[in-house]
Amino acid sequence: MKKIILSMLLVLLLFYFIIQPFYFNFSPTTGDEPRYEPKKWNSNPNIKNSHNCYTYMLEDINPYGQKICTTYGIENCKSISKPIPGHYTGNTQHTSTCDTIMRGMMMDNPNIYKTNFNSRCKKGYYKGALVVDPFLTYHFFRQDKDGYWSQKNGHDNATNLDGDGYLITDPKYAKPTYEVSNKYKFCNYFCVPSNKYKKSNTARIDKKSNNHQYRN
């Protein structure tokens, strides 16, 4: 019986780490990716409506955004600007090009570094990806622990499906859930630290204050 169980585990491990990535063209993972937990982002309207693709990609639930929703109501919360690249360091990028959005993100978090689809991030990191609709808008994706990618557009639900309803195995070829001019351009893959204290200003405040109110 033990041999059967061990054989089954071996087959599962072989499928998960070797066959599945090859067959489905998965990008290699590190094991430090965030879990895909849509309820965490979608069930609480104060979180759902105050967080966008940038905060979702960073796995950074911001208590200040939630407080605004609680204080001013959901409809007002929806119209309030959400964090965009450069927000945390006061270098907000208002022009949506690959260079400006990447620059703002890396100003916010110098621990982030560029990579490619077939390379594995170093331990303690996971992959993100950026697309832009030039000079109009931008959108982020992130890779989750199961190897698929997910996204959250504005105050919409977090999802691991693209605009056509397919599971996302590569954001470069995924149809965004929101388009302005239907001219999205893929920019880069990059590696994001999974340690929340390296993610954003919110996490740094948490570490400094040791206040659980500010934890992700």
pLDDT of residue 215: 26
Residue 191 has pLDDT above 50, yes or no: yes
pLDDT greater than 50 at residue 210: no
Query: By C-alpha distance, which of 18, 12, 72 is closest to 46?
Result: 72
Report pLDDT for 70: 85
Q: Which residue has the higher pLDDT, 17 or 12?
A: 12
Mean pLDDT to the nearest integer, 44-73: 87
pLDDT the model gives residue 14: 56
Give the Å distances, CA to CA, from 4 to 20, 115, 211.
Answer: 22, 40, 49
pTM of the full structure: 0.80
pLDDT at 212: 30
* Tokens at 140, concatenated: 């982020």
Alpha carbons 138 and 184: distance in angstroms, whole number: 8
Q: Is the pLDDT of residue 120 over 90?
A: yes
pLDDT band at 28 (very low <50, low <70, confident <90, very high): very high
